[in-house]
Structure 1
Amino acid sequence: MNLEWQTVGFDELSIGQLYEILKLRQEVFAVEQNSIYLDPDGLDQQAIHVSAWEGATLVAYERCLPPGLQETESTLGRIVVAPAARGRDLGRELVRRGIAHNLARWPGHDIRMHAQAHLEPFYNAFDFHTDSDVYDLDGIPHLEMVLKAPA
């Protein structure tokens, strides 16, 4: 099936798309990873939502937050690939698109993420550098990582 990428603000999401996004985030972050936390955190309305769709099926998603909203830097977060779509390098393409978006939209601002610790080598491949010790976030080891904006 044809893969369609979308980068939109909150108000540009259809109700159906928003439902699928929240469903996938809940399916992976809460159920699969057994982490109980409040996913709708009040930041989605100010976020840019990057997603990949095969028809009406959401296969990959992340949100991009502007500098000063969650962190001093812009952020990438809620990075997720649907279980049935894994193994197709969608995660790599998703992160590439998020980085490109944040650097273009908020030039001169670094990008910070709260990454699951086991994904450190994956994000290192995109030039993210570890910026904290490992800490517990909702029962999952995390660390902060930063990608420096080009000068």
Structure 2
Amino acid sequence: MEIRIKSFEELSIKELYALLQLRSEVFVVEQDCVYQDVDGKDQKAMHVLGYDDEELAAYTRLFKAGDYFDAASIGRVVVSPKHRRKDYGKEIMKASMEFAFDKQKDKNTIAFAKVEPLIKISAQVYLKKFYEDLGFKETGKRYLEDGIPHMEMMANR
């Protein structure tokens, strides 16, 4: 899988359409969850796109500390149904985590954290093991988000 990381402004119209289509296909249709996916936060995010032969196969969006949570965060983690079982979920998350951690230790960016670099996520509960395998730990807060059980998880380098 080829990974591309872009700001909102760097996305082409074709890329933006593909990522919104994938998010809608999985989060709205497959998970049968009516919610406002286009939430006005994409403009602040970095977008991690995973391509399999020029087709968008996996995606995440990243926020620096303070833009979504108090720590850097990764969200909208999604793998296309026809590209599952290829470990693309882990691959896109590892690339996302590496980028987020690297940005936090770069003193020349506004994302620099003065404490140990952290990543906070709002994870669907059924994916707990997936995220634990990537180094995330549940912080104890569980809640419903758009009718789906979620939990707060954190990872550090």
TM class by shorter-chain length?
A: over 0.9
Task: Return the offset for 1:130.
Answer: 0.3
Q: 2:93 aligns with which of 92, 95, 100?
A: 95
Task: Return the offset for 1:134.
Answer: 2.2
Q: Does 2:13 correspond to 1:5?
A: no
Structure 1 unmatched ranges of 5 or more:
none
Task: Return the offset for 1:55.
Answer: 4.0
CA distance in 1, matches of 2:135, 2:120: 12
Query: Match of 2:110?
Result: none
Letter in 2 for 1:59: A
Moved over 6 A (4+): none
CA distance in 2, matches of 1:11, 1:83: 27
Query: Match of 2:37?
Result: 39
CA distance in 2, matches of 1:19, 1:55: 17
CA distance in 1, matches of 2:8, 2:64: 13
TM-score (norm. length: structure 2): 0.90
How many residues were matched structurally? 147
Query: Match of 1:126?
Result: 134
Identity of aligned residues (%): 37
CA distance in 2, matches of 1:11, 1:55: 23
RMSD over aligned Cα atoms: 1.1
Residue 11 of structure 1 aligns to a residue whose secondary structure is coil
Structure 2 unmatched ranges of 5 or more:
106-115
Query: Match of 2:108?
Result: none
CA distance in 1, matches of 2:130, 2:2: 24
Equivalences for residues 21-100 of structure 1 within 5 A: 21-100=19-98
Task: Return the offset for 1:4.
Answer: 2.3
Q: Structure 1 stretch 60-69 or stretch 47-56: which is displaced more?
A: 47-56
